[in-house]
Amino acid sequence: MSPSATNGILDERIVSDISLPADVPESNQTAAGVPGDQLFSLKNQTILITGAGRGLGIELALGVVENGGHVAALDILDAPSAEWETLQKTAKLRGVTATYRKADITDEEDFVSAVAEISSRGRSLNAPLQGAIACAGIQQKIPTLEYPVADFEKMLRVNTIGSFITAKAVANDMVANKIQGSIVLIASMSGSIANRGLTCSAYNTSKAGVHQLCRSMAQEIGQYGIRINTLSPGYIRTAMTDALLAAEPEVEKTWMAGALLGRLGAPEDFKAPAVFLLSRGSSFVTGTDLRVDGGHTAAV
């Protein structure tokens, strides 16, 4: 006889874990208590995105404007790539703005100034700076035993310290303006695993640092109603990966062996996860990592 049943009757001490009490006080506290069609809306918000002058950054910016948010794009480039034109057209159709400013995420003084400008402009649009995506980063493939210390330090400076400067500046602005917002740090599955076929110890170390930065900041800034999470992509089809696979075809075979969905990621695969982490729909999610890798790490 089951210890939890007597004469076929469930032990009265066992309660359902899906039943709700008559009153849930937290329902009056969560931002998620809105109709479903508003859960992922970024209307009346400005979202700052670093590394948004090209590639994945622009794709994430597109996801923001498609969901009603204003975008403030930052990058080290003097001007954004040709993809920027598509973003501008979409923003115009949606009745929102997409602005671009050159900024260096490793220069704290310059970056804090950029955040202040973006925040001021957002408030003038009745769309306060309420979210950020730290997408800027670099990659390098060198065997560990040959890795120049200066290059290793640069990787950490851009990927880890750059993410810290971004998150710190945005969080300080949110606190000053009493904004309960969301910060998303683009990390990588490589911050949790070693990549077969790739010699990128500095990159992997830098992204592991981003993961820990997120967890550590979350326990400090949660008191202000600010959330921070990481989004960890797997292998993405980019110009860089195309060049690598062309030069080293055997790497693709290694990658595909762990591709549970049978393909690499596309930039479009990361729009919805990023919007989720920025939106009210994830209002009880902080200090965690959302891994979007097509199952690669499950197959390790």
Please list the active-site residues. Answer: 203, 207
**Cβ atoms within 10 Å of 142's Cβ, excluding its own:** 16
* Beta-sheet strands, E only, within the chain: 5-6, 9-10, 46-50, 70-75, 98-102, 129-134, 182-186, 227-233, 289-292
- Tokens, residue 152: 């290793």
Total residue length of the chain: 300
| Phi and psi, residue 75, nearest 5° | -160, 165
Contact 162, 136 (CB under 8 A): yes
**Cβ atoms within 10 Å of 81's Cβ, excluding its own:** 13
**Radius of gyration, CA atoms only, the chain:** 21
How far is it, in rounded angstroms, from Cα 71 to Cα 95? 12
Report the run of H or E that residue 224 belongs to, with start and end. none
Which DSSP letter does residue 115 get? H
- Tokens, residue 275: 């919007």
List, in sequence order, every residue forming a beta bridge with 186; answer none if it has no partner: 231
- Fill in the amino acid letter for 263: R
